[in-house]
Amino acid sequence: MSKLRFNITMTLDGYVAGPNQSIEHGLGEGAEPLHDWVVKLKSFREMHGDPGGGETGTNDGVLREAFENIGATIMGRNMFGGGPGPWGKEPWNGWWGDDPPFHTAVFVLTHHAREPLVMQGGTTFHFVTDGIKSALDQAKEAAGGKDVSLGGGASAAQQYLAAGLMDEMELHVVPLLLGGGERLLDNLKGSGVKLEAVRVIETPDVTHLKYRIVK
């Protein structure tokens, strides 16, 4: 049965993005080091079209596992990018260039309708305006029995967690303190979310915390 799986890098003080996110600062100010642990990995480079080089080992294995058996992806408007509001005459085509690393159908949560955006490498962005459940239903259909990856950001994750629609969550916690920005686990009061620990993997660069959401 298809599962909704979420994995994201988080600072030690709970932030997944810094303050003042913009086109110039996609992760917010001061948050660039969040992903230092991942950009040097072999599997990350392969996903971004660079088959040579990169580190292997524990962190590479965790990242590779996170993207196994993924048939579709869901993300929030901020993760797709381009700023808030209507798309405009020359709309943003995403942060990832002409050949994004997803290679699946991607469903973008937004309040503003837009025609699907077909990119190279098998990625097509679909813009969903009728809520998280609709996006998940469409993603599961597109996944064809494989799992669905929830790419983020914090708001999208909070909505799926609070609605009881997420199945697994893996947090990659880095030794970084931002002190402000977008916190992952806010806005969940009263949702009754229950987590079951699956595993903890520690490395000098990052600690991987994997949870199953108890239904």
**To which CATH superfamily is domain 4-84+98-213 assigned?**
Dihydrofolate Reductase, subunit A (3.40.430.10)
What confidence score (pLDDT) does residue 168 get?
A: 98
User: How do residues 101-124 score in pLDDT, each as one tens digit?
Assistant: 999 999 999 999 999 999 999 999
User: How do residues 161-210 score in pLDDT, each as one tens digit?
Assistant: 999 999 999 999 999 999 999 999 999 988 999 999 999 999 999 999 99
Q: Is 11 helix (H, G, I), strand (E, B) or coil?
A: strand
Give the Cα separation of 90 and 102 in Å (integer): 23
Give the Cα separation of 204 and 128 in Å (integer): 39
Element (DSSP H or E) covering residue 147:
strand 147-150
Q: Residue 187: how many CB atoms within 10 A of its CB?
A: 14
Q: How many helices and strands (H and E) does the chain possess?
A: 6, 11
What confidence score (pLDDT) does residue 119 get?
A: 96
Find where tokens 């969903």 sit.
Answer: 128
Question: What are the boundaries of each domain within the chain?
Answer: 4-84+98-213
What confidence score (pLDDT) does residue 152 get?
A: 84
Vertex 76 angle, CA 213 and 32, to 5°:
95
